[in-house]
Amino acid sequence: MIGFFDSGLGGLTILKEVVKILPEYSYIYLGDNARTPYGSRSQEIIYKFTVEGVEELFRRDAELVVLACNTSSSAALRKIQREFLQKHYSEKRVLGIIIPTAEEIGRFTNTREIGVLATEATVNSLTYQKEINKFFPEIKVYQQACPLLVPIIEAGEIEQKNLDLAIEKYLNQLFSKSRKIDTIILGCTHYAIIEDKIKKYLSLGIKVISQGPIIAEKLRNYLARHPEIENKLSKTGKRIFLTTEDSERVKNLSQIFYGEQIAITIINIGP
């Protein structure tokens, strides 16, 4: 199966786009809702939690795992690829979502100045800045940490006024760094479901980039280039959804993130 891991439910917005163009494959999704948000945690804890999620997906027959979480991708991906996989699962693969996004961002911006809205951990890692400048050295990258957004979204308070106030505050802080920003990356998968709210506070012509469509196309290209992985994958169209939190809130929110009703199973991971 193809596994997807996120600290919560945001990764469902990635999986939803992948399923649109690769519906024949079998997928297993795991959201660590019991321990979300990851964004304010230390790099060591993020790595530990992410490894536990990846291992759980491997145990449940995932051959390839996508870290559909910018925080995990920024804090844990490199170490997982270079150390954890080499030592324990040399035949399996773990992919992130920041580098694929960085590869494509140049085609969206005209001013060559972009903004990134993300968690504190993603911003502090400087991963977006480093990866974008590898491909596009001339692009200026301005980041804004948004620590309140994931807790508000995961609490199911999407229509509450405090979400709008937080969005407006973070955008004002971002544009205080540069008025030439013409493209904004939603550098946390949770933000995809509030994209319309974010656009409401932006000037006409500023592009907002959600990662789902980019990652879906990149995954299709990856599988085409790696038949040794693709040939191992099930093509029965099976869908499995897992969470670490037993609550009606998670069940209801999962349908909002994925766009349709799903059956989500509660499991425990970690020690």
The domain ranges of the chain are 2-97+213-266, 99-210
**Active-site residue flag, 69:** yes
- What number is the average pLDDT over the span 58-76? 96
CATH class of 2-97+213-266: alpha beta
What is the CATH class of 99-210?
Answer: alpha beta
Residue 156's pLDDT band (boundaries 50, 70, 90)? confident
Contact 31, 11 (CB under 8 A): yes
Give 134-153 pLDDT, tens digit per residue. 999 999 999 999 999 999 99
Average pLDDT over residues 229-251: 95
Q: Is 146 a catalytic residue?
A: no
Q: What is the pTM of this model?
A: 0.93
Domains 2-97+213-266 and 99-210 share a fold: yes
pLDDT at 65 over 80: yes
Mean per-residue pLDDT, 203-222? 96
Average pLDDT over residues 192-200: 95
Q: What is the mean pLDDT of the chain?
A: 95
HSE-up of residue 78 (Cα within 13 Å, Cβ side) = 9
- Whether the pLDDT of residue 209 is over 90: the answer is yes
- Residues 189 and 258: their CA atoms lie apart, in Å, by 12
123-135 pLDDT, tens per residue?
999 999 999 999 9
Say what the pLDDT of residue 155 is: 87
Q: Calculate mean pLDDT across residues 161-181.
A: 97
> Which of 62, 65, 69, 253 is flagged as catalytic?
69
* pLDDT band at 154; cut points 50, 70, 90: confident
